[in-house]
A and B are shown apart, each in its own frame.
Chain A
Amino acid sequence: MTFDELVIVTVNGISFGFLLFLVAVGLSLVFGVMGILNLAHGAFFMLGAYLAYEFGGAAALSLPLFILVMIGSGLVTAAIAAVLEAALFRRIYYREHLEILVFAFALIFVAEGAVRLQWGPNPLIMSYPEGFASSVSIFGAPVPEWSLLIIVAGLVILAGLAFLLFRTRIGYVIRAVAEDSHMAGALGLNVGLVFTGVFALGALLAAIGGSLVAPTLALTPQLGLLFLVQAFAVVVVGGLDSIPGSLVAAIILGLANSFLVFTFSGWAPYSFYLGLIVVLLLRPQGILGSRELTKQVG
């Protein structure tokens, strides 16, 4: 491997890692607070991408307009998620993981149908925002500007979440509910409201991830399933309830994938499964996690 390749593979790996982090962080947040593995996350990711297309269209937007479109898509997705949580999900929190998993999974397929009816089966794709459609040279290797922007977006989201969770009253409440939702209720915290809010926040993060991939991935009604296994691998490897763990795992898995393409390329598609196997055998709570999947609400 040449130095050029080393540079670009590292940047590719980190950028893909941040993309995975953006997809997985909401999954991790929801599990950390609510104790459920919400695979319907994939549906919100897809919805976010389609709504970004709906609001922004196929033609190139200015970056501020793109960001506005992304936020709009995130808010609408969050609102839909909040309604779904209040109407459906809160009825099944106390069930077994298997039932919740099946329920969420079924919801992805319902979302596939809804998206097909609304936007049709044909692939759609957005443009890169103006000024972000080319590449920059890093140590002589061409790196897409969009890849760098995804890294920046990942860092901004990480900082924003850290601020929200550790520097605000809302974060204080969320952390209390995450640590012990039963006691939080007995102490007068409106746990149901926190759950709805966190569920919606998770959906908002998924939708932002979806908006950010819309210029690089064809939007099809199956988009909800595309990242599901990778996102699942990221949160399990990182630790289901650990947001920093998700970031670390996403970058490790992203880098592993990139390096494998250049070295043992036949193994690259299996890097995520290998990561899952290794972690589940050696450290079931994940790299930075504290909880295993056995933990349920309360």
Chain B
Amino acid sequence: MRRIPALVMLVVLVSAVLAACGGGQGGAPGGAGTDEPIRIGVLAPLTGAQSTLGQEEKRGADLAAKMLNEDGGVLGRPIELVYRDGQGSPAEAVQIVRDFANEDINFTLGYVSSAQCLAVTPVAEQLGVLVMSSYCQTTKVTGSEFTENFFRATTSAEMLTRAGAQAIVQEDGDIAEWSSISPDYEYGHITWTIFKNQMELLVDGFEVVGEVWPPFQAASFSDHITKLNNSLSGHDQAGIFSSLYSGDMINMLSQAAPIGLVEGHPFLMLGTDLDAIRPLGQAGNVPTAWISVAYYHEAFDNPVNTEFVKAFQAEYGVVPIGYNATAFMSVTAYAAAIEKAGSTEVQAVHDALEGLTWQTPLGETTIRAEDHQAMFESLAMFKIAPADNEQGFEVTDVITIPGQDVSSPPHPGEVGEFSQ
């Protein structure tokens, strides 16, 4: 080979290998018999950079299927989950949806990135496949780029962001000065926009004192930390907003700890869950912060949650976190819709999902007919703080924010007011 193509080759290789990782385990096409399993396709990042999330998702979905099947299944038929490993690339997600359709699997859930959701929805519509997002938070799929076959049985970016903003103002007081360290892509920018719009409404004299945009999966956050730290000087009471999550949140906080970036500042973490907090606790770097993931196992006093937490602990030996609950809810939404429709015919299930009300760990939940977004009675917000215990942190406060306070009226086909 010649000298220069080495890098080109590397790039090609990386993409080739990443694409090749998309393969997965197939399932035989189902027959038409009445006790044949109802198959639901799950696209989740089971390996790769977001596999923590994907593996948690799988636990939640598996538990839902197990509980439903132990309870006699749906329409007397067992639920079977068919997993495909999707790392986050839109093209890969489209291919997986086509594979699902070819295998006659018309109900799908999962999907990790906003880009994936936006890419698969038009294809799903052509193929007659239903897409239920468990994770992609973008408001576009229920707004400006709404399609008929897309449903979200969980919270949206708007709900999480607004609930977080309301919680921190309600509990920590009217904080007017804010800064952000969020990932430099769609999700990071849209959440900060929603946050600013909500804060304008909540606090007089709301002001941005600094914002930095580290790239996704950066190896070093130190320059962004320094830059943010400098913009915070002279603003000792300013709040910090961050929609970094998983490994990026761990890395940022570990690298920020020596200079005490977040110490003394109100701090809101969006979308970060206990999976990231636990290792930080082991290393003694947990900050005092509010976390907005909508679910906390002790926040909801309803029979479904009680049963969910108990069964989850029995199955996995730990309490469930938000990622588990969202996948659980997506599976039970399909189950409830199929029961309601009395059939597994796609159009019937689609119609049943519109306006479906079912019981979830977050309480009674309804999928709006207009934009297919789930509406919740309330969302849980919790506060963590460093502690001198085995875990290195404790949950010091858990509150709920009413669902009606954090969602706009449906706006299918249009950009919502909070996202502009």
Instruction: List residues of A whose CB falls within 8 A of some B CB.
Output: 2, 4-5, 8-9, 12-13, 15-16, 19, 37, 39, 58-60, 96-98, 101-102, 105-106, 109, 112, 116, 121-128, 133-135, 142-147, 215-218, 220-222, 226-227, 229-230, 232, 236, 257-258, 261-262, 265, 268-269, 276, 280, 284, 292-294
**B48–A222 contact, CB under 8 A?**
yes
Give Cα A142–Cα B30 distance, bound, in whole angstroms.
63
| B28 part of interface (Cβ distance < 8 Å) | no
Give Cα A116–Cα B230 distance, bound, in whole angstroms.
39
| 1/0 contact string of B1-24 vs chain A (CB within 8 Å) | 111101101100100010001000
Contacts of A217 in B (CB 8 A): 219, 251, 254
The 3 closest A-B pairs by CB, nearest first: A58-B282, A144-B258, A261-B223
CB-contacts of B176-224 with A (<8 A): 184, 212-213, 215, 217-220, 222-224
A selection of 10 A-B contacts at a CB cut-off of 8 Å is A5-B230, A9-B223, A123-B247, A123-B276, A128-B258, A133-B258, A144-B259, A215-B283, A262-B223, A293-B6
Contacts of B254 in A (CB 8 A): 125, 215-218
Give Cα A20–Cα B17 distance, bound, in whole angstroms.
25
Q: Tell me whether chain B's interface is mostly helix, strand or loop, or mixed.
A: helix
Contacts of B223 in A (CB 8 A): 9, 12-13, 257-258, 261-262, 268
Closest B residue to A293 by CB, please name it. Answer: B3
Partner of B219, one of A145, A220, A226, A262: A226
Give Cα A127–Cα B283 distance, bound, in whole angstroms.
4
| B26 part of interface (Cβ distance < 8 Å) | no
Closest B residue to A16 by CB, please name it. Answer: B220
Given contacts A134-B258, A220-B51, 5 further A-B contacts (CB under 8 A): A37-B6, A96-B1, A133-B257, A220-B247, A232-B7
CB distance from B112 to the nearest CB of A (A): 14
Known: A101-B10, A294-B2. A218 touches B17 (CB 8 A): no
Contacts of B3 in A (CB 8 A): 280, 284, 292-294
Known: A127-B284, A135-B258, A144-B222. A121 touches B55 (CB 8 A): yes
Partner of A122, one of B4, B52, B229: B52
Partner of A147, one of B10, B222, B224: B222
**B280–A276 contact, CB under 8 A?**
no
**B13–A105 contact, CB under 8 A?**
yes
Give Cα A4–Cα B224 distance, bound, in whole angstroms.
15
**A124–B279 contact, CB under 8 A?**
yes
Known: A98-B1, A218-B251. A135 touches B283 (CB 8 A): no
| B227 part of interface (Cβ distance < 8 Å) | yes
Give Cα A98–Cα B278 distance, bound, in whole angstroms.
41
In which size bucket is the chain B interface?
35 or more
**B219–A265 contact, CB under 8 A?**
no
**B227–A226 contact, CB under 8 A?**
no
Give Cα A116–Cα B227 distance, bound, in whole angstroms.
35
Give Cα A12–Cα B285 distance, bound, in whole angstroms.
21
Instruction: List residues of B whose CB falls within 8 A of some A CB.
Output: 1-4, 6-7, 9-10, 13, 17, 21, 47-49, 51-52, 55, 184, 212-213, 215, 217-220, 222-224, 226-227, 229-230, 246-247, 250-251, 254-255, 257-260, 275-276, 278-280, 282-285
Give Cα A60–Cα B217 distance, bound, in whole angstroms.
25
Known: A101-B13, A220-B49. A261 touches B224 (CB 8 A): yes
**B49–A16 contact, CB under 8 A?**
no
Contacts of B21 in A (CB 8 A): 109
Known: A121-B51, A121-B52. A9 touches B284 (CB 8 A): no
Give Cα A122–Cα B1 distance, bound, in whole angstroms.
39
Known: A121-B52, A222-B49, A236-B7. A261 touches B227 (CB 8 A): yes
**B259–A135 contact, CB under 8 A?**
yes
Give Cα A124–Cα B278 distance, bound, in whole angstroms.
9
Count A-B pairs with CB separation below 8 Å: 160
CB distance from B275 to the nearest CB of A (A): 6
Closest B residue to A262 by CB, please name it. Answer: B227
**A60–B284 contact, CB under 8 A?**
yes
**A125–B283 contact, CB under 8 A?**
yes
Contacts of B47 in A (CB 8 A): 112, 116, 121, 221
Known: A101-B13, A220-B49, A293-B3. A123 touches B55 (CB 8 A): no
Contacts of A9 in B (CB 8 A): 223, 226
Partner of B6, one of A97, A222, A269: A97
CB distance from A57 to the nearest CB of B (A): 8
Contacts of A145 in B (CB 8 A): 258
Partner of B4, one of A127, A144, A262, A280: A280
**B250–A218 contact, CB under 8 A?**
yes
**A101–B9 contact, CB under 8 A?**
yes
Contacts of A59 in B (CB 8 A): 282-284
Contacts of B278 in A (CB 8 A): 122
Give Cα A146–Cα B275 distance, bound, in whole angstroms.
25
**A101–B6 contact, CB under 8 A?**
yes
Give Cα A276–Cα B7 distance, bound, in whole angstroms.
9
CB distance from A113 to the nearest CB of B (A): 8
Give Cα A243–Cα B222 distance, bound, in whole angstroms.
26
Contacts of A232 in B (CB 8 A): 7, 10
Partner of B255, one of A58, A216, A294: A216
Give Cα A75–Cα B226 distance, bound, in whole angstroms.
35
Closest A residue to B217 by CB, please name it. Answer: A226
Closest A residue to B55 by CB, please name it. Answer: A121
**B52–A123 contact, CB under 8 A?**
yes
CB distance from A275 to the nearest CB of B (A): 11
**B226–A8 contact, CB under 8 A?**
yes
CB distance from A210 to the nearest CB of B (A): 12
Contacts of B212 in A (CB 8 A): 261, 265
CB distance from A22 to the nearest CB of B (A): 12
**B279–A122 contact, CB under 8 A?**
yes
Contacts of B250 in A (CB 8 A): 123, 125, 218
**A5–B283 contact, CB under 8 A?**
no
CB distance from B209 to the nearest CB of A (A): 16
**B51–A221 contact, CB under 8 A?**
yes
CB distance from B198 to the nearest CB of A (A): 26
Give Cα A218–Cα B354 distance, bound, in whole angstroms.
41
Contacts of A143 in B (CB 8 A): 259
Q: Which of A102, A236, A261 has the most CB of B within 10 A?
A: A261
**A142–B229 contact, CB under 8 A?**
yes
Contacts of B282 in A (CB 8 A): 58-59, 124-125, 127
**A105–B217 contact, CB under 8 A?**
no
Give Cα A222–Cα B14 distance, bound, in whole angstroms.
13
